[in-house]
Structure 1
């Protein structure tokens, strides 16, 4: 309930930094469940839009996802799926019981066209056999989660050692072996996109299996992921979110006097880049880990405790970008789901090229064909992760379009193939308040670091006092990091932490 200061009852005031899914989820939860017991909830957003890493855009009038793409594991256990369902944002196929019960660990790639860089269409047998091998080994890598000791530090090293043993058993001719290794390298690139990392050598083997996949066939929003953000924004009182308010410093563990309108002291003062100051009893910080890595030393006053600083430094945060290209006519078959290029001579067992900038486009894991064609026309969505993705951001649209046109012409063996007529791409590394895409558990870090990042900061050194600074966002969820549902759940977690402290829940059955 409200706490008493002198003779007056004081209702706690909460500030939230960041209007992504974690921040909006926390705000909605606090207002719906704590409502009249609160002295106010305000969200400070650095940019001019809500949604954070959920961002829908348009390419020649077609809605595409610049940020989050799928609902991963759309089933009853997934709160993003539940909210999307309640607001009628999904199509009938996604809502079907059958789709919700499928246990395949993500999104099946379906029929694909895999070309060699020499212009050959590769046999589906090679693709299927190498896919089975790679994903079987990846499942093995997840089994070290409770092991007392791991054979090697990283997922990449484990996979490469296992593949090297397999290659010695192959009885194929040298050309077939080269093709198989080039295809396997495609799967490495794909997993780099999934993990948001430059290399699987950076992903820790021991904690890899802690990441939890929910059942359900991954689905998309027909009218854009931002529809979910619109619904959350509509549920908040007007003015709750203040835009273009980048925060400079979170001052905590102090006594800050707000002369008006409250005329009382607060434990937290949030100072914005424009000089405006906001006072609160609690602040929920939902900024991306990439931002904390760049600004963590100056963002908090006093600085973060050493354990939390170490977690920020050790956890991984990488870039996964998308390149959308639209063609007047497709060069792929109508049922094709993915277009891939296996580069001659590439192998997961070989040293990566030193001059990645010269051949950055070879890091593209594949191009997803946006379906149905009646909705999208003929659009491919390429996925690229790591340093190459960051370099791609420095190029012009014309340079990227030119490079990809050459890739498609080389792969199809058709030097006259018409270039794409339009392009749109994400640039998450260049986003100043994001500095990348999402988190992963890096070598020399563990799930304990995620928990450390999520731990609130209390006044003084006593955990018996209410927390002043709380942390949410996908990087603070131990088993659902890198996902939108992890972000939403983390926002709810911190809202509930405050609601429980003040016993503010108006009803155990209050709306989400």
Structure 2
């Protein structure tokens, strides 16, 4: 797109997350000097947010660099700023192709308080991975038999189960494991249910090589390094945007005598004239506010695209323990509800059993950095319901859950 005023163009960026910061960096590095970022809150970084659990650093928002290799701009920046450890930057780490699913070492627990062994978990996990690969292959082969990924996985799981030679109890347990893996996919895909994820397009998502890695000193370190390279006055904080008047709908004269085709109006009454506006707000915000955020409204084809796209709620639950109840090499803990003998990824009685949507916990590693800390993952409407509860209520539910699945009533997280 040609810039109307060349390097003198006035450019407003809405949102100071990593996309907004990156856009500003790119513009400034290419000679554009009239750049302004408007941020609704008092901080930059968007969903990249590092917090503390006691004296431990934890990621409240974005957790990993997915596909840390040279094709990944986040990885390149992290290396440039020396924010990663040697192992994460190694050639060996960059060349591993994990297909979006890190090869975590798991511990499996069932709702009757039993540990599940490899003789049961390995063949079931392999079957699920094969079915998931079939879902991805429909992108190129076409002829998808059902509309959604969830429908396909459920039907294939039941079809395979009818051929198993296991006794009924074992067969039911393996199907319950498939339910857990469906919930895991909900967190990976950011959806309430895999029934909402289109089968034909599922394989379009491209994963980069590299074993997912974390920032030893926190993901926000990347944001801090990027912001330090910007002019000090480029970001205006606490400036929620009310409306972007575009397409010459409101022409605003400037002290220079120019008029501008775009006017960005803030909630506090301030306005910023611009030649171009880059909107970097989250999809969820755009879906909710696009009718009032833009005047005139976007063309119908754009509106329909925004409405069709989806990204649901994902939440984390951090728990710290004096001693681990998991194995020393464990990287993820899976919880299998034995009553889910038909593959399912939604909870019928959400207010009572919202915690059943939690597939389990990832183990924060290394121990020397984090101690004994788990991060629980829960997606969808159940995740949104959890947001309405107090921290004490959530901790109580998690304590009961862990005690039930481990069969150990003496396990309590730190208060």
TM-score normalised according to structure 1 size: 0.78
1:21–1:348 distance in 2 versus 1, CA, 3 Å: farther
Q: Please give the secondary structure, in 2, of the residue aligned with 1:294.
A: helix
Distance in 2 between residues matched to 1:406 and 1:238, nearest whole Å: 49
Tell me the CA shift for residue 354 of structure 1. 2.2
Partner of 1:15: 12
In structure 1, what is the Cα distance between the partners aligned to 2:48 and 2:87? Answer: 22
1:13 and 1:348, CA in 2 relative to 1: closer, same or farther beyond 3 A? farther
Correspondences of 1:201-212 after superposition (within 5 Å): 201-212=195-206
Contact 1:107-1:217 within 8 A present in 2 as well: no
- After superposition, where does 1:436-447 map in structure 2 within 5 Å? none
Instruction: Give runs of aligned pairs for residues 187-266 of structure 1, distance below 5 A.
Output: 187-254=181-248, 256-266=250-260
Offset, 1:147: 3.9
- Contact (CA 8 Å) 2:40, 2:240: kept in 1 or not? yes
Q: CA deviation at 1:161?
A: 1.4
Matched residues in 2 for 1:394 and 1:355: separation? 16
Identify the residue that residue 421 of structure 1 maps to in structure 2.
414
Contact kept, 8 Å, 1:107 with 1:218, in 2: the verdict is no
1:6-405 equivalences under 5 Å are 11-35=8-32, 38=33, 40-254=34-248, 256-349=250-343, 352-405=346-399
Taking a change above 3 Å as real, the CA distance of residues 145 and 160 of structure 1, as seen in their structure-2 partners, is: same
CA deviation map 1:400-443 (0-9, x unaligned)? 000010011111111222x2114xxxxxxxxxxxxxxxxxxxxx
* C-alpha displacement of 1:198: 0.6
Cα offset, 1:108, TM superposition: 2.6
Q: Contact 2:252–2:263 at 8 Å: present in 1 too? A: no
Contact 1:266 1:279 in 2 (8 A): yes
Displacement after TM superposition at 1:123 (Å): 0.8
CA distance 1:358–1:274, shift in 2 (3 Å): same
How far, CA to CA, are the matches of 1:150 and 1:356 in structure 2? Answer: 31
Which ranges of structure 1 fall in alignment gaps of 5 or more residues? 423-512
1:110 is displaced (CA, Å) by: 2.8
Residues 193 and 345 of structure 2 are in contact (CA less than 8 Å); yes or no, is this contact kept in structure 1? no
SS, match of residue 42 in structure 1: strand
- Alpha-carbon distance change, 128 to 298 in structure 1, aligned in 2, over 3 angstroms: same
Gaps spanning 5+ residues in structure 2: where?
none
For residues 442-496 of structure 1, give each alpha carbon's deviation from its aligned partner in whole angstroms, at most 9, with x where no partner exists: xxxxxxxxxxxxxxxxxxxxxxxxxxxxxxxxxxxxxxxxxxxxxxxxxxxxxxx
> Displacement, 1:27?
0.3
**Shift of the alpha carbon at 1:18?**
0.4
Deviations along 1:287-346, whole A, 9 cap, x unmatched?
Answer: 111001111111100011100110111111201111111112211122111122111111
| Native 8 Å contact 2:180 2:345 kept in 1 | no
User: What secondary structure does 1:98 align onto?
Assistant: helix
Query: Structure 1 residue 262: deviation in Å?
Result: 2.9
Q: Deviations over 1:340-366 (max 9, x none)?
A: 211111145359542112111111111
Secondary structure, in 3 states, of the residue corresponding to 1:317? coil
- The alignment yields a C-alpha RMSD, in angstroms, of 1.7
CA distance in 1, matches of 2:128, 2:389: 32
Question: Aligned equivalents of 1:132 and 1:403: distance in 2?
Answer: 31
Contact kept? 1:257, 1:264, Cα under 8 Å: no
Inter-partner Cα distance in structure 2 for 1:148 and 1:332: 43
Q: Distance in 1 between matches of 2:285 and 2:324?
A: 39
Q: Distance in 1 between matches of 2:292 and 2:239?
A: 17
